[in-house]
Protein backbone atom coordinates (compact mmCIF):
# COMPACT_ATOMS: atom_id res chain seq x y z
CA UNK A 1 0.00 0.00 0.00
CA UNK A 2 1.25 3.47 -0.90
CA UNK A 3 1.67 6.10 1.78
CA UNK A 4 0.99 9.67 0.61
CA UNK A 5 1.67 12.80 2.66
CA UNK A 6 -0.11 15.98 1.53
CA UNK A 7 0.81 19.48 2.68
CA UNK A 8 -2.25 21.73 2.33
CA UNK A 9 -1.43 25.44 2.24
CA UNK A 10 -5.02 26.66 1.93
CA UNK A 11 -6.95 28.51 4.64
CA UNK A 12 -10.28 27.59 3.01
CA UNK A 13 -11.79 24.23 3.97
CA UNK A 14 -14.08 24.25 0.94
CA UNK A 15 -11.95 26.19 -1.55
CA UNK A 16 -10.37 25.21 -4.83
CA UNK A 17 -7.22 23.70 -3.28
CA UNK A 18 -9.27 21.61 -0.85
CA UNK A 19 -11.44 20.42 -3.73
CA UNK A 20 -8.39 19.31 -5.73
CA UNK A 21 -6.92 17.53 -2.70
CA UNK A 22 -10.22 15.74 -2.19
CA UNK A 23 -10.31 14.74 -5.87
CA UNK A 24 -6.84 13.28 -5.50
CA UNK A 25 -7.38 11.45 -2.20
CA UNK A 26 -10.59 9.75 -3.27
CA UNK A 27 -8.66 8.20 -6.18
CA UNK A 28 -5.69 7.03 -4.11
CA UNK A 29 -5.07 3.48 -3.02
CA UNK A 30 -3.29 3.16 0.29
CA UNK A 31 -3.13 5.68 3.08
CA UNK A 32 -2.93 9.44 2.91
CA UNK A 33 -2.40 12.09 5.55
CA UNK A 34 -3.03 15.81 5.15
CA UNK A 35 -1.06 18.45 7.05
CA UNK A 36 -3.15 21.64 7.09
CA UNK A 37 -0.70 24.53 7.37
CA UNK A 38 -3.31 26.95 8.72
CA UNK A 39 -4.45 24.72 11.59
CA UNK A 40 -1.58 22.37 12.45
CA UNK A 41 -0.02 24.55 15.18
CA UNK A 42 3.49 24.14 13.82
CA UNK A 43 5.80 27.06 14.51
CA UNK A 44 8.24 28.35 11.89
CA UNK A 45 11.97 27.75 12.20
CA UNK A 46 13.59 30.25 14.58
CA UNK A 47 17.13 29.58 13.28
CA UNK A 48 18.36 28.59 16.74
CA UNK A 49 20.77 26.11 15.10
CA UNK A 50 20.03 23.43 17.68
CA UNK A 51 19.57 20.94 14.82
CA UNK A 52 23.14 21.48 13.67
CA UNK A 53 24.64 19.97 16.80
CA UNK A 54 21.85 17.81 18.22
CA UNK A 55 20.32 16.19 15.14
CA UNK A 56 16.81 17.12 16.23
CA UNK A 57 14.65 20.22 16.40
CA UNK A 58 14.49 22.23 19.63
CA UNK A 59 10.90 23.31 18.94
CA UNK A 60 8.63 20.61 20.35
CA UNK A 61 5.34 20.79 18.46
CA UNK A 62 3.42 18.89 15.78
CA UNK A 63 6.37 18.94 13.41
CA UNK A 64 7.96 16.07 15.33
CA UNK A 65 5.23 13.78 13.95
CA UNK A 66 5.48 15.34 10.49
CA UNK A 67 9.20 14.53 10.36
CA UNK A 68 8.33 10.85 10.85
CA UNK A 69 5.51 11.11 8.28
CA UNK A 70 8.00 12.47 5.73
CA UNK A 71 10.47 9.66 6.40
CA UNK A 72 7.80 7.00 5.95
CA UNK A 73 6.05 8.58 2.93
CA UNK A 74 6.40 7.16 -0.56
CA UNK A 75 4.66 10.15 -2.13
CA UNK A 76 4.62 13.78 -1.04
CA UNK A 77 2.19 16.36 -2.41
CA UNK A 78 2.44 20.10 -1.90
CA UNK A 79 -0.95 21.72 -2.50
CA UNK A 80 -1.54 25.44 -2.19
CA UNK A 81 -3.36 28.46 -3.48
CA UNK A 82 -1.07 30.88 -5.27
CA UNK A 83 -0.71 34.17 -3.38
CA UNK A 84 1.36 36.82 -5.14
CA UNK A 85 2.87 34.11 -7.39
CA UNK A 86 4.00 32.04 -4.37
CA UNK A 87 2.88 29.36 -1.92
CA UNK A 88 0.96 30.66 1.10
CA UNK A 89 2.81 32.08 4.10
CA UNK A 90 1.67 29.45 6.63
CA UNK A 91 2.78 26.66 4.28
CA UNK A 92 6.18 28.30 3.93
CA UNK A 93 6.38 28.63 7.73
CA UNK A 94 5.79 24.90 8.15
CA UNK A 95 8.27 24.21 5.34
CA UNK A 96 10.94 26.31 7.08
CA UNK A 97 11.17 23.49 9.61
CA UNK A 98 12.60 21.24 6.89
CA UNK A 99 15.88 22.84 7.94
CA UNK A 100 16.29 19.81 10.20
CA UNK A 101 16.83 17.50 7.19
CA UNK A 102 19.42 19.88 5.71
CA UNK A 103 21.25 20.12 9.04
CA UNK A 104 21.23 16.36 9.56
CA UNK A 105 22.86 15.87 6.18
CA UNK A 106 25.23 18.84 6.24
CA UNK A 107 26.35 18.93 9.86
CA UNK A 108 25.65 15.43 11.19
CA UNK A 109 26.47 13.43 8.04
CA UNK A 110 23.13 11.64 8.31
CA UNK A 111 20.84 11.44 5.29
CA UNK A 112 17.81 9.73 6.80
CA UNK A 113 15.80 10.43 3.66
CA UNK A 114 18.01 8.47 1.27
CA UNK A 115 16.75 5.04 2.37
CA UNK A 116 13.78 5.11 -0.02
CA UNK A 117 12.59 6.77 -3.20
CA UNK A 118 9.84 9.36 -2.79
CA UNK A 119 7.78 10.85 -5.59
CA UNK A 120 6.83 14.51 -5.37
CA UNK A 121 3.79 16.25 -6.79
CA UNK A 122 2.46 19.80 -6.79
CA UNK A 123 -1.16 21.00 -6.89
CA UNK A 124 -1.76 24.74 -7.25
CA UNK A 125 -4.87 26.88 -7.59
CA UNK A 126 -4.95 30.58 -8.30
CA UNK A 127 -6.71 33.43 -9.99
CA UNK A 128 -5.82 36.97 -10.83
CA UNK A 129 -2.74 38.03 -12.72
CA UNK A 130 -0.04 36.19 -10.75
CA UNK A 131 2.10 33.52 -12.34
CA UNK A 132 2.67 29.99 -11.04
CA UNK A 133 6.36 29.50 -11.94
CA UNK A 134 7.73 30.77 -8.63
CA UNK A 135 5.33 28.59 -6.60
CA UNK A 136 6.30 25.55 -8.67
CA UNK A 137 10.02 26.30 -8.22
CA UNK A 138 9.59 26.69 -4.45
CA UNK A 139 7.61 23.46 -4.30
CA UNK A 140 10.35 21.60 -6.18
CA UNK A 141 12.93 22.92 -3.71
CA UNK A 142 10.82 21.80 -0.73
CA UNK A 143 10.20 18.38 -2.27
CA UNK A 144 13.94 17.97 -2.74
CA UNK A 145 14.55 18.82 0.93
CA UNK A 146 12.11 16.01 1.80
CA UNK A 147 13.94 13.54 -0.39
CA UNK A 148 11.22 13.51 -3.06
CA UNK A 149 11.91 13.71 -6.77
CA UNK A 150 9.50 16.06 -8.56
CA UNK A 151 7.21 14.04 -10.77
CA UNK A 152 4.22 16.09 -11.93
CA UNK A 153 2.18 19.24 -11.35
CA UNK A 154 -1.52 20.14 -11.62
CA UNK A 155 -2.41 23.82 -11.83
CA UNK A 156 -5.82 25.48 -11.98
CA UNK A 157 -4.80 29.03 -12.71
CA UNK A 158 -7.99 30.90 -13.56
CA UNK A 159 -10.04 30.20 -10.45
CA UNK A 160 -11.38 33.74 -10.35
CA UNK A 161 -13.17 32.93 -13.61
CA UNK A 162 -13.38 29.12 -13.59
CA UNK A 163 -13.49 27.11 -10.36
CA UNK A 164 -11.20 24.11 -10.06
CA UNK A 165 -14.33 21.98 -9.95
CA UNK A 166 -15.11 23.05 -13.52
CA UNK A 167 -11.52 23.09 -14.80
CA UNK A 168 -11.48 19.90 -16.88
CA UNK A 169 -7.77 20.08 -17.67
CA UNK A 170 -6.73 20.19 -13.99
CA UNK A 171 -9.17 17.41 -13.13
CA UNK A 172 -7.59 15.24 -15.82
CA UNK A 173 -4.14 16.07 -14.40
CA UNK A 174 -5.30 15.08 -10.88
CA UNK A 175 -6.49 11.77 -12.29
CA UNK A 176 -3.08 11.24 -13.94
CA UNK A 177 -1.25 12.04 -10.71
CA UNK A 178 -3.41 9.54 -8.81
CA UNK A 179 -2.61 6.88 -11.41
CA UNK A 180 1.12 7.55 -11.06
CA UNK A 181 0.91 7.38 -7.26
CA UNK A 182 -1.08 4.14 -7.37
CA UNK A 183 1.46 2.31 -9.58
Instruction: Give the CATH number of the domain where residue 63 resides.
Output: 3.40.50.360
- For 101-120, how does the pLDDT look when each residue is reduced to its tens digit (9 = 90+)? 999 999 999 999 998 999 99
**How far is residue 124's CA from residue 68's CA, in Å, rounded to a whole number?**
25
- What is the pTM assigned to this prediction? 0.96
Instruction: Name the domain count of the chain.
Output: 1
The residue range of the domain holding 93 is: 3-182
Beta strands in 24-117 (DSSP E): 31-36, 75-81
Tell me what pLDDT residue 71 has. Answer: 97
Q: Which residues contact 55 (CB under 8 A, 6 or more apart)?
A: 103, 104, 108, 110
pLDDT of 2 above 90: no
Give the number of other CB atoms < 10 A from CB of residue 160. Answer: 11
Grouping H, G, I as helix, E, B as strand and the rest as coil, residue 136 is helix
Amino acid sequence: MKNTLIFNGSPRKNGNTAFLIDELTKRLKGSSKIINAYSCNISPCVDCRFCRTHGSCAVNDGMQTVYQDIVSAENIVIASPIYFSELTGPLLSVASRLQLFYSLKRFQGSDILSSKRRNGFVILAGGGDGASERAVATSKCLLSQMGAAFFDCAISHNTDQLSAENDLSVLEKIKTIAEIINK
